[in-house]
Amino acid sequence: MEFIWLQRVVGFIFLKLIFRNWIYRIKNS
């Protein structure tokens, strides 16, 4: 169960980073 929790947290952070990068690209262009 701990592995699933860790995977969820890592996935959430990964999506957050991608979302931030996406907004940054839109702001620059």
What whole-number percentage of the chain has pLDDT above 90? 86
- Domain encompassing residue 27: 1-29
Number of Cα atoms under 13 Å in the Cβ half of residue 19: 6
Q: How many domains does the chain have?
A: 1
Number of Cα atoms under 13 Å in the Cβ half of residue 4: 1
- Residue 2: predicted pLDDT: 82
Q: What is the mean pLDDT of residues 1-29?
A: 95
Sequential DSSP letters for 1-29: -HHHHHHHHHHHHHHHHHHHHHHHHHHH-
Reported confidence tier of residue 13, pLDDT bands at 50, 70, 90: very high
